[in-house]
A and B are shown apart, each in its own frame.
Chain A
């Protein structure tokens, strides 16, 4: 009856998730760093509604390929914003995409003192307006939520972002579009 390794990991992840919840719920008392951070805004993520179409966050949560992204969105306090009305276009890097970054990059960004950097990177994956693939045209620049631009190229119907990130598939969300991408978009270095 022995469980496979993968199942143990999943089980641990589940327990970890629940444990993390407890921590977060009590963080105001226990964790001085979090207590000093700006109060996260009030969003629709806690609205109990299993019937309506899923928003971009719920779509990411429902995908086994986006656990890193979901964890990062939480760490960056972006769950609230992305659960709101939008409309958003989210370029959602897969776990594999994050794994392509140099070793230790993701772990580094997940530290509390790097929250601003993580927010900057994640906001570079979101633009306001629900863009379908057919709305993306060769040579277009997209103004992203962090204030920087992403450039779009389209060759033979294939979309490439910033020259090296590709759209693997797209999912319509209640508050926008999620385009699954195979790489992490890196904002231009600050001048």
Chain B
């Protein structure tokens, strides 16, 4: 009897479990309609319609996909070394990863942002942020390479970054982890957060023509966590909006202690006003240390400069720069609609989505409709800035993008869905599941004044059973939805690199025609270039041996080198002489403790090698270049220190010796 009873209880539980499983709507199959494959299909040999730039999160890199196919087109190394491309290993690229802390080989890239002109994506540059050691990078979209990296002083956890103003006047970076300013004594008890810790926002100016970045000024703010931000646009151009959490100013167990208040803040920053104060000399010059690294496509090499001063405006003293707007429960996303009137704050712990009105906010400031101050910053009354609330949108609202047709699309992390709602009447009109636990979303131009709203892509944090299992770690997933109709339609699911944190997408027409195919050898300004095989040479300077080497299908010049000795430092300066699209040559030497070089046509790159033993070391081309790629190789002879083997180099001349003396002295 007892056994029967146990069985029955087990069966009952099983029944309930089965029920839970089978009661789940067959989302995947139901959600996919028969035309999905056609919509996502791009025939072999055909181009995708959109570029999708997706951050690699903890990979530190930027991935480029085509849409609607979801095909991975390229991984651009940014903040992390990439041995495949020699990024951070070649002598020319090492300076790009220099910081005030020295060479940093990794970071965490969260947000891509495309440059804009008049609030529209202009296809020139792509910016990305480093969270861990605060930096902002600029990528050149003619070469799809990282062109510049600037470090941010007085910052930590550079998360609300790198969002831009509508003419790319500034790239903005707000610090997630408030810390004592760099020039203050940082050796303070951690629990003096409220007194000693500050949040800093950096305004990085961007050169109109060359894109060059410079920290124009910083605004020192109260110690809170700045999470995300977006620029005003159109009527609200001149303002910037930041979400803030941990207004509790907790310094431990934030999971509990930063979730106490019913409302945190959106911080509105009048940056035009800040510019006026800057001009009036109200900024303080502060002594700091930060790196500014620039890659020069003419010399094919990077330079790193350490800068020592930044101008800081104090939000407490200069009263009319910053204002707080109460926003429920740890706001995460802070998104501005295409008209610039509506500011959407997504409290990740909130049961609603507040939508603020720019016009009402301006009136509230004029009327001084403040409920008080927070650390010297006026706090606008919630109702005075509120347009309305989206009630019961779903659980865990995070991020919003827009279609330019009056609808907003918000991701819900906890309930794992995207919710479409009407901005005017704040009603939910559609919802679709994501698989699983969506973070950011992207609509082409969806955070600009002119969305191109054909697709919506959801970037998910959890993958579990979406693809064939690959052990404990799984590729994170992106899901593509067609949003041209009233209802969102899932049409594709594709794996990504690292963590696809945020993304931007743009019509391929804006970018593809300007893509560089090779670098002109005549314009190669590298001090170590060999513009033709006759100039290839090996030069000894003390214990440094410089090999000026050329590569062309299918040999190196020189390919036999003798007379290098133990104790020497060898620099292989490899110039790719090809002037043809898609013919890189690689270079590797046995035992080198760094990486390969991958040298683009017309480019010069350098590999440093310190031989660790006497012997013969092969070199070879690593990028399959021609039918005789396997023949593209050579030898380097390393002799003992003090050896009198003369320095010799050649290609095609050092013919075999007669058999009788082979292998002997």
Residue of B whose beta carbon sits closest to that of A3: B4
Q: Is B20 an interface residue (CB 8 A)?
A: yes
CB of A79 within 8 A of CB of B433, answer no
Q: Which of A115-142 contact B (CB under 8 A)?
A: 123, 128-131, 135, 141
B233 at the interface (CB under 8 A from A): no
Residues of A within 8 A of B17 (CB): 58, 61
**Size bracket, chain B contacts:** 35 or more
B13 contact from A15, A24, A48, A62, Cβ within 8 A: A62
Residues of the A chain whose Cβ atoms lie less than 8 Å from the Cβ of B28: 42
Given A84-B436, A143-B262, do A18 and B417 touch, yes or no (CB 8 Å)? no
Interface hits, B255-312 → A, CB 8 Å: 255-256, 259-260, 262
Mark interface residues in B28-45 (1 if CB within 8 Å of A CB, else 0).
101100000000000000
Whole-angstrom CA separation of A3 from B1 in the bound complex: 8
Of the candidates B5, B16, B395, the one whose C-beta lies within 8 Å of that of A17 is B16
Contact of A143 among B23, B349, B396 (CB under 8 A): B349
Chain B: minimal CB distance from A189 (Å): 16
A10 with B8: in contact, given A41-B412, A44-B464, A147-B351 (CB under 8 Å)? yes
Indicate if A47 sits at the interface (CB-CB under 8 A).
Answer: yes
Instruction: Assess the B416–A84 pair: CB atoms within 8 A.
Output: yes
Separation of A48 and B262 alpha carbons in the complex (Å): 38
Given A81-B416, A146-B351, A147-B350, answer yes or no on A45-B24 (Cβ-Cβ < 8 Å).
yes
Contact A128 B12 (CB under 8 A): no
Q: How does the 8 Å CB contact mask read for B413-435 relative to A, with 1 for contact and 0 for none? A: 11111000000000010011111
**Is A109 at the interface (CB under 8 A from chain B)?**
no
B522 at the interface (CB under 8 A from A): no
- Whether the pair A41, B394 counts as a contact (CB closer than 8 A) is yes
Q: Are A128 and B15 in contact (CB under 8 A)?
A: no
Q: Tell me if B541 is interfacial: C-beta within 8 Å of chain A.
A: no
Q: B431 contacts which chain A residues (CB < 8 A)?
A: 38-39, 41
Known contacts A47-B464, A146-B351; A11/B8 CB under 8 A: yes
Asked if A74 is at the interface of the complex by the 8 Å CB criterion, the answer is yes
Contacts of B436 in A (CB 8 A): 42-44, 84-85
**Residue interface mask B321-355, A partner, CB < 8 A = 1:** 00000000100000000000000000011111000
Q: Which residues of A contact B416 (CB under 8 A)?
A: 41-44, 80-81, 84
Using A48-B465, A80-B24 as known contacts, say yes or no to A143 and B259 having CB atoms under 8 A apart: yes
Contact A14 B25 (CB under 8 A): no
A46 to B464, CA, bound (A): 10
Interface presence of B655 (CB below 8 A): no
A7 and chain B: residue at smallest CB distance: B8
Q: How far is the CB of B302 from chain A (nearest CB, A)?
A: 40
Known: A14-B15, A39-B25, A128-B414. A7 touches B350 (CB 8 A): no
**Distance in Å from the Cβ of B456 to the closest Cβ of chain A?**
15
Q: How far is the CA of A119 from the CA of B255 in the complex (A)?
A: 25
Q: Mark A12-24, 1 if CB is under 8 A from B, else 0.
A: 0111111011001
- Shortest Cβ distance from A26 into chain B, in angstroms? 11
Chain B residues with CB under 8 A of A16: 15
Residues on the B chain within 8 Å of A14, using CB: 8, 11-12, 14-15
Please tell me if the beta carbons of A85 and B18 are within 8 angstroms of each other in the complex: no
- Contact A87 to B255, CB < 8 A, known contacts A10-B8, A43-B436, A79-B20: yes
- What is the interface of chain A, defined by CB distance below 8 A to chain B? 3-4, 6-7, 10-11, 13-18, 20-21, 24-25, 28, 38-49, 57-58, 61-62, 64, 67, 70, 74, 79-81, 84-87, 123, 128-131, 135, 141, 143, 145-147, 149
**Interface pairs A-B: 6 shortest CB-CB:** A42-B433, A147-B351, A17-B15, A14-B15, A41-B417, A24-B23
24 pairs from A and B in contact (CB 8 Å cutoff): A7-B8, A10-B8, A11-B11, A14-B14, A17-B16, A21-B19, A39-B431, A41-B416, A41-B431, A42-B416, A42-B434, A44-B462, A49-B464, A61-B17, A79-B23, A80-B24, A81-B395, A85-B437, A85-B461, A128-B396, A135-B253, A143-B259, A147-B350, A149-B262
